[in-house]
Amino acid sequence: MPSVHNVTKFTLLGFSDMSLSAQVMIQIFLILAYIFSLVGNGLIIWVVTLDPHLDMPMYFLLRGLSILELCSINTTVPKTLQTFSLEKSISFIGCAAQMYIFSAVAVSECLFLTVMAFDRFLAICHPLRYSSVMTPQMCYQLALGPCLIGFVVPFIHTSLIFRYPFCGSHLVAHFFCDIPPLLHLACADTFTIELYIFIVCMCGAVVPFILIFCSYLRILSCLSLIHSSEGRQKALSTCGSHLVSVIIFFSTAMYVHLRLGTPFSSYRDRMTALFYCVVIPTINPLIYSLKNAEMKRALAKRNAR
C-alpha cells in the first residue's frame, strides 16, 4: 500500500523560537558535546579492541554500547547543527530514516544495558560458571540479539507514522524527527499508534529496567557474602558505572515515551530530547572510564605510548 502524505519535506524548526544568545549557547554546547562523544566513545572502542587485558565479556559489551552511542549521536546532532543555518529542511524519506535509526538504536541500547546487567550478575553471583556461560559465541549472540530486535521493532511504528496525512503542515517543532512532534502534525486519530508505542516502550524499556533492578538486588545480596574488601570494591566499581548509566538512560526514555495521551510540549520535549540525544552519549564514556580502574589503567597505558 503506498504511503499517503501531502508533503515532500519537513522543516526542522530546532531552537529558532529562542533568543539569539540562547541559540549560540546551545550550538556551542552541541559542537563540544559532539566532539567529546566522538573522542570518548572512540577511545573506548580503540582501547578495548587493542588491549589484550580487556579481552573480557564486560568490555566486549562496553565496546558494543559505545558503538551504539556513536550511531545515536551521529543520527541527530549533525542535522541539528544545520538547523542553526538557513538549511532547516529534511526530506520526507530522510525524516523517516532519522526516526527509524534513532528509535532502533534506542531500543537496542535498552536491551544492551539489560545484557550488561546479566553479565555482571553472572560474574558476581556465579563466578565459577561465568567463563563456561560467557563464551565468545555467547557474547556475540548477546550483542547481536538486542541489535536485531532493536532494528526490527521500530520499522512498524515508523511505517505507520509516515502513512498518516500531515494536513499540509511541514513545520516540525523539534530539532530532529522524533515521534511526538511528528504525531502532533498528523491530522488523523493517532491513538492506535500511540498505544502501540506505549506497549513497545513497556516491553522495551520498563521490562528491561525491572530485570536490571532485580539483577542488582541479587548482586547486592551476593556482595554481602564477599569477605574481601578489595573484591567487594572491585565489584562495586564495575557495577556502579553501569547502574548510573541505566538510571539516566531509562528515566529519560520512559519520561518521553510513556506519556500516552499527554499533549505535545515543544519546549519540554526538546529539552528532554537534548538530554538523551546528546548528554547521555557524551557522559557515558566518562562514567565508564572514571569509575573503572582497569579502563583507566588501559587508557593511561595507551596514552603513555
For residue 116, being part of any structural domain is answered with yes
Over 60: is that where the pLDDT of 266 sits?
yes
pTM of the model: 0.89
For residue 248, being part of any structural domain is answered with yes
> Residue 285's pLDDT is what?
86
Cell triple for residue 178? 522524533
Q: How far apart are CA 68 and CA 52, in angstroms?
A: 22
Strand order in the sheet with 171-172: 89-91, 9-12, 171-172
> Residue 305's pLDDT is what?
63
CB 152 within 8 A of CB 250: no
For residue 25, being part of any structural domain is answered with yes
Over 60: is that where the pLDDT of 73 sits?
yes
Q: Closest by alpha carbon to 203, among 153, 156, 245?
A: 153
Q: What CATH number corresponds to the domain at position 115?
A: 1.20.1070.10
Over 60: is that where the pLDDT of 4 sits?
no
For residue 243, being part of any structural domain is answered with yes
97-124 confidence digits (pLDDT tens): 999 999 999 999 999 999 999 999 998 8
Q: Closest by alpha carbon to 246, among 144, 117, 67, 160?
A: 117
Q: Read off the pLDDT of each residue in 14-40 and give the average, rounded to a whole number.
A: 94
CA 34 to each of CA 42, 76, 78: distance values in angstroms, whole numbers, following the listed order: 12, 10, 9
Contacts of 30 (CB under 8 A, 6+ apart): 77, 80, 81, 278
Q: How far apart are CA 243 and CA 224, in angstroms?
A: 18
For residue 4, being part of any structural domain is answered with no
> Residue 260's pLDDT is what?
57
For residue 3, being part of any structural domain is answered with no
3-class DSSP state for residue 158?
helix
Domain containing residue 172? 9-304
Q: How far apart are CA 123 and CA 127, in angstroms?
A: 5
For residue 1, being part of any structural domain is answered with no
Task: List the end-to-end C-alpha distance of the chain, in Å, as a whole number.
Answer: 59
Over 80: is that where the pLDDT of 168 sits?
no
Task: Domain count for the chain, please give it.
Answer: 1
- Asked which of 131-145, 183-197, 201-215, 257-271 is least confident by mean pLDDT, the reply is 257-271
Cell triple for residue 13? 524548526
For residue 95, being part of any structural domain is answered with yes
